[in-house]
Chains A and B, each alone.
Chain A
Amino acid sequence: MITNVLEYLENSAAKYPEKTAFADPASHCSYQEALQASRSIGSALLPFGQRRRPAAVLIDRDVCSVLAFFGIVFSGNFYVPVDPKLPAERIRQILKTLEPFCILGSEKQLSALTSSLGETGNYPLLSIETALQTEPDEAALEKIRKTHLDTDPLYTIFTSGSTGVPKGVVITHRSVIDLVEQFAVAFDFQSEEVFAGQAPFDFDVSVKDIYNVIRNGCTLEILPQSFFVMPKKLLAYLKERQVTTLIWAVSALSVLATLKVLDKGVEAPLRKILFSGEVMPMKVLSYWRKHLPEAMYVNLYGPTEITCNCTYYIVDREFTELETLPIGKPFPNTEILLLTEKRTEAAPGETGEICVRGTSLAPGYYNNPENTEKAFIQNPLNPYFPEKLYCTGDMGWFDKDGLLHFASRRDSQIKHMGHRIELGEIETVLQSLPFVENGCCIYDTAAGKIVLFYQSRENEDKSILQGLQKHLPKYMCPNRLIHFDRIPMNSHGKIDRARLKREFLTGGETL
């Protein structure tokens, strides 16, 4: 029985030592090299003497980031990918929640971080370049493995939190092992496959790239962000590297459809296209299916807290533009319960909150018991022994064929460009700006824009954007700002969101 994801790496290194495991346009490493490098990094972390503690990794879209992840796992700890391009304030918040025993990154990244964080960034640093030079201490690494449990954490990924503090989801080895074992069967992954990684490593879509690849002895081609504004290069690269498999955010497939990337034909042997993150627009799917009719298309659904995905739907028929794809059926070893407001089971066909049960559940949020208690609850249908459910906040319903459909959100969380965003988090930062008297954010679903309404003495569009950018990643910054001398209020003394929606949002008059 597999209890540690490193066994996947070791097994593939034994079977395919010379085969490329990870590559980016500038570098590549074989399974054997990946294993050696990870052991070196793991050994470089041993002097810290830590177990089951977080180490942050300043990520880039390159091979080194993946090696750093495995190195941390070899050291008996868990990794936390952090995008160094995030605003300093947000990095500071993440580090404060995490108190990592070490931050790994390239020398260049670490010195940039030190200068942007200043004195508040007093965490031990380790450069990946130095760590790679360390002689592996096989005996010490072996000893760590003997006391490992599959319920130990593997990684933590941060997501937007409505109170203004990002939440770190802790995911265990066991959950990731369950995920890739189920994927291998459901999608018939073979060692010949070449994955093209689109998602950044602090986005859990990339977890599927890394672990499906090492489980099955495949190759992961890590794509640079720039390819998505230079689609010709992207297309040439997919062909050159003979990419077969994409596990991508819906938003990335949408971008390529809008840029008409497939119009001139595709020479890469793409066979499997899996997507998640938001509702797939039917015209985007039609575009891909038209140009790559032989490929398998899979709609995946699930939040980070249940380890990437809990349901899937293999597209098996034509859809009209007015239909939406089902999110399908749960993976084996996962159960979906639909709960009503009263926490009873929804009747057949009735809409309820999608709640998940199974080994895929995160133990909770790191250093955050309040939010953990709110989202991970005792199964209300089981009063007899402790058993957790994760409540996704997504509403859904089962059709007569037993396929699950997504209906809506129950709160103000939105999906924007593939990212999960709590509008409350943007509002918290907005209200903290001294020149803002009042304000709120509303998502214009039809236009795909975050619209920010605010009240201040003068127009402060530019200062507000600058203020928000100090705290929030770019994808959370509003796409439209609307200034008021006096923002409309309702009779309860609250901002009149209904009126703002009606007057300012696309198709608002029909709301």
Chain B
Amino acid sequence: MKEKVMEILKELRPDVDFESSQTLIDDGILDSFDLVSLIGELTDAFGVDISFDDIEPENFNSADQIAALVKRLEDED
């Protein structure tokens, strides 16, 4: 799953180093339009429902956190 998340991220912003960045939200590397596109892509790819409560910096600051969020939502289903 991490690979698929990475693929989505790289497609979204080929200019960002998602392997190392831990501050995607905190440092404004992803803007609101990126976030909206990302949520759309994750929803389509994994069939998860990302709700308002999930949209917290600690769920989106790194590729690992994003993968963990998707996993948690999948497990809840």
Q: Chain A: residues with CB nearer than 8 A to chain B?
A: 225-226, 228-232, 251-252, 254-255, 258-261, 263-264, 417, 461-462, 465-466, 469, 474-475, 479, 481
Contact = CB atoms under 8 A, between A and B. Distances in A.
Contacts of A261: 52
Given A225-B32, A258-B39, 20 more contacts: A225-B31, A229-B28, A229-B32, A230-B56, A232-B56, A254-B36, A258-B36, A259-B35, A259-B36, A259-B52, A260-B51, A260-B52, A263-B51, A263-B52, A461-B14, A462-B14, A462-B15, A465-B14, A465-B15, A481-B14
B52 to A, nearest CB: 5
B32 A264 contact: no
B55 A259 contact: yes
A229 B35 contact: yes
B32 to A, nearest CB: 4
Contacts of B39: 258-259
B62 to A, nearest CB: 14
Contacts of A229: 25, 28, 30-32, 35, 57, 60
A258 B40 contact: yes
B55 A226 contact: no
Contacts of B37: 479
B15 A469 contact: yes
A230 B33 contact: no
Determine which residue in A230, A254, A466, A474 has the highest number of CB atoms from chain B within 10 A of its CB, and name it: A230
Nearest to A258: B36
A271 to B, nearest CB: 23
Nearest to A264: B52
B50 to A, nearest CB: 9
Interface string B44-77: 0000000110011100100000000000000000
B73 to A, nearest CB: 14
Nearest to A466: B15
9 contacts: A225-B31, A232-B52, A251-B33, A255-B33, A258-B40, A259-B55, A260-B51, A465-B15, A481-B14
A261 B60 CA distance: 17
Q: Is the interface of A mostly helix, strand, loop or mixed?
A: helix
Contacts of A260: 51-52
A129 B36 CA distance: 37
A259 B60 CA distance: 13
A249 to B, nearest CB: 11
Contacts of B36: 254-255, 258-259
Interface in B8-32: 14-15, 25, 28, 30-32
Nearest to A469: B15
Nearest to B33: A417
A69 to B, nearest CB: 24
Determine which residue in A232, A261, A461 has the highest number of CB atoms from chain B within 10 A of its CB, and name it: A232
A197 to B, nearest CB: 15
Listed from nearest, the 7 A-B pairs whose CB atoms lie closest are A228-B32, A260-B52, A255-B32, A258-B36, A263-B52, A229-B35, A465-B15
Contact of B31 (A231, A469, A474, A479): A474
Contacts of B51: 260, 263
Contacts of A232: 52, 55-56
Given A259-B35, A260-B52, A466-B15, A230 B57 contact: yes
A32 to B, nearest CB: 34
Determine which residue in B40, B51, B52 has the highest number of CB atoms from chain A within 10 A of its CB, and name it: B52
Determine which residue in A229, A230, A251, A465 has the highest number of CB atoms from chain B within 10 A of its CB, and name it: A229
A451 to B, nearest CB: 13
Contacts of A252: 32
Contacts of B25: 226, 229-230
B71 to A, nearest CB: 21
A28 to B, nearest CB: 23
A264 B28 CA distance: 25
Contacts of B57: 229-230
Contacts of B31: 225, 228-229, 474
A458 to B, nearest CB: 15
Nearest to B60: A229
A264 B35 CA distance: 20
A222 to B, nearest CB: 16
Nearest to A251: B33
Contacts of A225: 28, 31-32
Nearest to A449: B37
A470 B15 CA distance: 12
A417 B34 CA distance: 11
Contacts of A263: 51-52
B31 to A, nearest CB: 7
A87 to B, nearest CB: 12
Contacts of B35: 229, 255, 259
A352 B28 CA distance: 42
A113 B55 CA distance: 34
Determine which residue in A252, A469, A474 has the highest number of CB atoms from chain B within 10 A of its CB, and name it: A474
A24 to B, nearest CB: 16
Nearest to B36: A258
